[in-house]
């Protein structure tokens, strides 16, 4: 759909389509959804929202009536819902939207069951262990289903586990970095490795070639490394830290991959935004912390100039990609 939109926009810009026929060309291109497409969209939307409402409704039901329910009632409700979701997946033979929705609901109910077990028996486990166990038990379902949403959910659980682990115990990265930075490093390394694996796997597995998942992983990789690059600027550590070196390497890799190997304006725009944020903070530290109020005006001009330069560059790349 995106390629059709770009091709049609290029034809209109080159005036290959007369102005009076543009509306008909847009209508015939299929860019506007038909009545049938709207029905399918609403049907799937209500199916997803309904299943999520049932899962979270069960969770809130148990939490609200905790004192009135015995432990067997709590476990019975969650396990019955879990078995029902697996039964629906089995009934749908693992294919179609219904099967995917059922397996996603089962994955969420698995987390509810683990949290209920830890709350009832007070195991004393750290929160990160809950998410690790949840991810491990959910992994076979993600492997069997080959569903992008389940894999993103699985990676989200690993992100929470890694962040909570480093915040609780620190770990090997604390030898090189501060405790707060270790969690960011762990999330950055995890999401960067996941993004690289996803991009390589998308070349062989068609179900992995969805743009939203790779872009979400890129955001999960870009946000922590940008924050890590900002830490030495905030703390006035003027030496060239490993975070700044990793940030430069991340920007270079982002440009090389999504400018030449697989052009993607969203990824490049993310890199521009991260670079602008770091440059702005660096200038703010010098202009606002060591100068008079006039630094605000100069900083605003710099931000506007960097934003305009980024937009100009991205627009030029868009024209190069579409032609």
User: For the chain, which residues score pLDDT lower than 50?
Assistant: 1, 172-178
**Residue 246: predicted pLDDT:** 92
**Residue 175: predicted pLDDT:** 42
Residues 145 and 232 in one domain: no
177 lies in some domain: no
Residues 96 and 48 in one domain: yes
Q: Which pTM was predicted?
A: 0.82
275 lies in some domain: yes
Residues 216 and 110 in one domain: no
317 lies in some domain: yes
Residues 219 and 258 in one domain: yes
**Residue 11: predicted pLDDT:** 66
Do residues 61 and 74 make contact, with C-beta atoms less than 8 angstroms apart? no
Residues 16 and 85 in one domain: no
Residues 323 and 200 in one domain: yes
pLDDT by residue (tens digit) across 210-267? Answer: 778 899 999 999 999 999 998 887 776 555 678 889 999 999 999 999 988 888 889 9
Residues 101 and 125 in one domain: yes
Residues 19 and 58 in one domain: no
175 lies in some domain: no
38 lies in some domain: no
172 lies in some domain: no
**Residue 203: predicted pLDDT:** 79
Owning domain of residue 287: 193-323
179 lies in some domain: no
Residues 214 and 308 in one domain: yes
Residues 255 and 225 in one domain: yes
54 lies in some domain: yes
Residues 197 and 287 in one domain: yes
**Residue 177: predicted pLDDT:** 47
Residues 135 and 203 in one domain: no
**Residue 176: predicted pLDDT:** 45
> Which residue, of 150, 165, 180, is where some domain finishes?
165
**Residue 296: predicted pLDDT:** 77
Count of domains observed in the chain: 3
How many Å apart are CA 139 and CA 128, to the nearest integer? 17
């Amino acid at each position: 759909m995106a390629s059709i939109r770009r091709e049609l926009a290029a034809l209109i810009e080159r005036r290959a389509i007369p102005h009076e026929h543009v509306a008909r060309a847009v209508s015939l291109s299929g860019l506007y959804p038909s009545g049938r497409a709207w029905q399918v969209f609403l049907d799937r939307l209500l199916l997803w929202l309904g299943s999520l409402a049932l899962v979270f409704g069960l969770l809130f039901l148990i939490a609200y009536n905790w004192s009135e329910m015995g432990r067997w009632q709590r476990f019975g409700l969650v396990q019955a819902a879990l078995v029902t979701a697996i039964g629906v997946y089995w009934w749908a033979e693992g294919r179609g939207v219904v099967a995917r929705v059922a397996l996603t609901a089962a994955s969420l109910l698995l987390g509810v069951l683990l949290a209920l077990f830890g709350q009832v028996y007070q195991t004393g486990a750290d929160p990160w262990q809950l998410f690790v166990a949840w991810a491990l038990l959910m992994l076979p379902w993600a492997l069997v289903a080959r569903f992008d949403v389940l894999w993103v959910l699985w990676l989200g659980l690993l992100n929470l586990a890694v962040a909570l682990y480093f915040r609780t115990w620190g770990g090997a990265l604390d030898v090189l970095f501060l405790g707060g930075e270790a969690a960011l490093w762990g999330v950055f390394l995890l999401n960067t490795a996941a993004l690289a694996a996803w991009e390589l796997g998308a070349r062989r597995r068609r179900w992995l070639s969805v743009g939203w998942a790779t872009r979400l992983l890129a955001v999960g990789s870009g946000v922590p490394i940008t924050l890590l690059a900002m830490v030495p600027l905030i703390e006035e550590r003027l030496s060239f830290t490993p975070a700044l070196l990793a940030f430069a390497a991340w920007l270079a890799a982002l440009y090389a991959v999504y400018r030449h190997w697989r052009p993607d304006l969203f990824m490049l725009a993310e890199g521009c935004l991260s670079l602008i944020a770091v440059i702005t903070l660096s200038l703010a530290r010098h202009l606002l912390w060591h100068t008079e109020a006039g630094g605000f005006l100069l900083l605003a001009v710099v931000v506007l100039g960097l934003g305009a330069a980024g937009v100009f560059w991205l627009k030029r790349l868009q024209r190069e990609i579409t032609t």
